[in-house]
């Protein structure tokens, strides 16, 4: 009897364990039936109220050259700032530590001002064709340059105050008030820079720079196309481009070598030489590109300049040309009123300009006609035939 009860107890224990196992398995299968959530990469958050920026077009050839020039200015500013830091890290005897550090800060802030100027050129006119209003970006950045200049002036006030410290403490009676005045001037300059930036980036100025930018991009594109075509016609485009590329690469390599040396004042200039070399290398694109020989490149340029609708107010430069027209008309009215007899006091100037332009036109026409006449006698055998033909096309346009 006792054995039977033990057997039943063992069976009950076994059944209980089995039930627990089944329940655990069921929970596990239930959890897995929903599938474990696979980690996913969160989407990039967007700025509320704004559209995600679209890829911009490539900047023009002229823009690339200007961009290189801007980078060179930025590198120059950075080099000046590095020299300022070196001043702070140098032990200068007989000079208070505060004055030494303040001197370094003045140089650093001056370098930042120069670098800010370069950034405006690089990010504005250096992006012609890639941004909507490149001129506006450069012009509006003037406010930032002025603000940085104000910071430099404030640091100069700090320097004046620091001179009257430590062993030069007796000078504090003079340096403190003078330094405080300089700091106030710097604060005014900083505030003026902020207001200037706002004024140049909005309102009529922004509208004007936007209109001019719409004319600059096609104008510079046509000019570059013309220079590339002339480079191809004369055969100078490719060799000049190769020469500038090699020269620029050499300068850039030399800049890297200078920057790699730990020489005070000299090493920071390596970045300047490097960026200058890159700018020289890219300049060759102005003479060598996809231009083809043939036709009259200057004639096409003149026909496609954004000036055609200026007279009826439809051209992008209509506001500017209209302003100039009103200005010249006003000057003519003032001149006539001042003379009293209908003759403008500016008549000698306008007559001189008319004579000069007439002389230039006559001389150009005569010279070109003679050159084309001489070239036509030998037809294609004349080595100057392409050049004289080009000149002849210019006069016809």
**If we measure between CA atoms, which residue out of 363, 366, 191, 225 comes closest to residue 293?**
225
Classify residue 6: in a domain, yes or no: no
Residue 363: phi and psi, rounded to 5, are: -65, -45
Tracing tokens 């509208």 back to the chain, one arrives at 207
Would you call 55 exposed, middle or buried from its count of C-beta atoms within 10 A (0-12, 13-18, 19+)?
Answer: exposed
Sheet strands (E) in the chain: none
* pLDDT tens, the chain, 397 aa long: 444 444 454 444 444 444 434 333 444 344 434 333 333 333 333 323 323 334 357 889 999 999 999 999 999 999 999 999 999 999 888 788 899 999 999 999 999 999 999 999 999 999 999 999 999 999 999 999 999 999 999 999 999 999 998 888 899 999 999 999 999 999 999 999 999 999 999 999 999 999 999 999 899 999 999 999 999 999 999 999 999 999 999 999 999 999 998 888 999 999 999 999 999 999 999 998 743 333 333 333 334 344 444 344 444 444 444 444 443 444 444 344 434 444 444 444 344 334 434 443 444 444 444 434 443 444 444 444 544 454 454 444 4
Q: What angle do CA 85, 88, 92 make, to 5 degrees?
A: 140
The separation between CA 339 and the C-alpha centre of its own chain, rounded to angstroms, equals: 49
Joined tokens for residue 306: 């954004």
**Number of helical (H) and strand (E) elements in the chain, helices listed first:** 13, 0
Q: Is residue 40 part of a domain?
A: no
**Same domain membership, residue 396 and residue 271:** no
Q: Which of 271, 286, 301 is the last residue of a domain?
A: 286
My answer on whether 73 and 176 are in the same domain is: yes
Exposed/middle/buried for residue 340 (C-beta within 10 Å: 0-12, 13-18, 19+): exposed
pLDDT digits (tens, 9 = 90+) for 44-92: 333 233 233 343 578 899 999 999 999 999 999 999 999 999 999 998 8
Residue 280: which of 242, 236, 231 has the closest Cα?
A: 242
Query: What's the chain's length in residues?
Result: 397
| 274 and 353, same domain (yes or no) | no
Same domain, 117 and 237: yes
Residue at which a domain ends, from 286, 303, 324: 286
361 and 228 in a single domain? The answer is no
Q: By C-alpha distance, which of 159, 299, 142 is closest to 229?
A: 299
Of 265, 216, 248, the closest CA to residue 111 belongs to: 265
In a domain, 181, yes or no: yes
| pLDDT, tens digit, 9 for 90 and up, residues 290-329 | 433 333 333 333 343 444 443 444 444 444 444 444 434 4
CA-CA distance, 367 to 363, in Å (whole number)?
6
What is the model's pTM? 0.61
126 and 235 both lie in a single domain: yes
Q: Domain tally for the chain?
A: 2
Residue 65, number of CB atoms within 10 A of its CB: 23
Report yes or no on 14 lying in a domain: no
Query: Are 111 and 192 contacting, i.e. CB atoms less than 8 angstroms apart?
Result: no
Question: Which strand (E) or helix (H) includes residue 32?
Answer: helix 2-33
Cβ(200)–Cβ(138) below 8 Å: no
225-261: b (≥16 Cβ within 10 Å) or e: bbbbbbbbbeeebeebbeebbeebeebbeebeebbee
In a domain, 89, yes or no: yes
Domain check: are 136 and 68 in the same one? yes
Residues contacting residue 46 through CB under 8 Å, at least 6 positions apart: 52
The overall average pLDDT reported for the chain is 72
Residues paired with 128 in a beta bridge: 131
The helix/strand/coil state of 94 is coil
Asked which of 286, 305, 333 is the last residue of a domain, the reply is 286
Same domain, 173 and 80: yes
Is there a domain that residue 94 lies in? yes
With 0-12 CB in 10 A as exposed, 13-18 as middle and 19+ as buried, what is 345?
A: exposed
Both 356 and 265 in one domain: the answer is no
Residue 30 maps to a domain: no
257 in the same domain as 114: yes
Buried b or exposed e, range 294-311, using 16+ CB within 10 angstroms:
eebbbeebeeebbbeebe
Question: What's the half-sphere exposure (Cβ side, CA atoms, 13 Å) at 357?
Answer: 6
In a domain, residue 263? The reply is yes
**Domain of 264, in residue numbers:** 61-286
Residues 243 and 384 placed together within one structural domain of the fold? no
55, HSE (Cβ side, Cα atoms, 13 Å): 2
Residue 163 DSSP code: H
Sign of the torsion formed by the C-alpha atoms of 231, 233, 234 and 235: positive
In this structure, are 141 and 282 located in the same domain?
Answer: yes
Q: Count of CB atoms within 10 A of residue 333's CB? A: 11
């Amino acid at each position: 009897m006792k054995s039977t009860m033990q057997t039943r107890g063992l069976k009950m224990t076994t059944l209980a364990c089995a039930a627990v196992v089944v329940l655990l398995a069921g929970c596990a299968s239930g959890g897995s039936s929903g599938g474990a959530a696979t980690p996913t990469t969160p989407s990039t958050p967007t700025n509320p109220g704004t559209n995600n920026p679209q890829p911009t077009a490539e900047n023009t050839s002229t823009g690339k050259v200007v961009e290189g020039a801007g980078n060179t200015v930025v590198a120059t500013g950075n080099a000046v700032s590095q020299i300022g830091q070196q001043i702070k890290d140098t032990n200068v005897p007989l000079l208070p530590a505060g004055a030494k550090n303040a001197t370094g800060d003045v140089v650093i802030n001056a370098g930042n001002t120069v670098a800010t100027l370069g950034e405006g050129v690089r990010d504005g006119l250096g992006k012609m064709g890639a941004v909507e209003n490149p001129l506006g970006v450069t012009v509006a950045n003037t406010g930032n340059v002025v603000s940085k200049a104000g910071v430099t002036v404030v640091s100069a006030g700090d320097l004046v105050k620091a001179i009257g410290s430590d062993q030069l403490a007796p000078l504090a009676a003079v340096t403190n008030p003078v330094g405080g005045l300089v700091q106030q001037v710097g604060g005014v300059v900083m505030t003026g820079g902020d207001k200037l930036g706002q004024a140049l980036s909005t309102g009529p100025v922004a509208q004007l720079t936007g209109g001019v930018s719409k004319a600059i991009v096609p104008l510079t594109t046509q000019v570059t196309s013309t220079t590339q075509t002339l480079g191809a016609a004369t055969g100078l485009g490719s060799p000049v481009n190769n020469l500038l590329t090699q020269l620029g690469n050499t300068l850039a390599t030399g800049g890297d070598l200078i920057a790699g040396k730990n020489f005070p004042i000299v090493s920071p200039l390596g970045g300047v030489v490097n960026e200058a070399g890159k700018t020289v290398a890219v300049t060759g694109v102005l003479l060598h590109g996809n231009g083809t020989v043939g036709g009259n490149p200057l004639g096409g340029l003149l026909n496609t300049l954004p000036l055609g609708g200026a007279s009826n107010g439809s051209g992008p430069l209509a506001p500017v040309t209209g302003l100039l027209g009103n200005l010249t008309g006003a000057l003519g009215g003032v001149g006539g009123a001042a003379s009293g007899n209908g003759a403008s006091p500016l008549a000698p100037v306008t007559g001189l300009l008319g004579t000069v332009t007439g002389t230039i036109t006559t001389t150009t026409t005569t010279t070109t006609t003679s050159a084309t006449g001489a070239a036509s006698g030998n037809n294609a055998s004349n080595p100057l035939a392409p050049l004289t033909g080009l000149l002849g096309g210019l006069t016809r346009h």
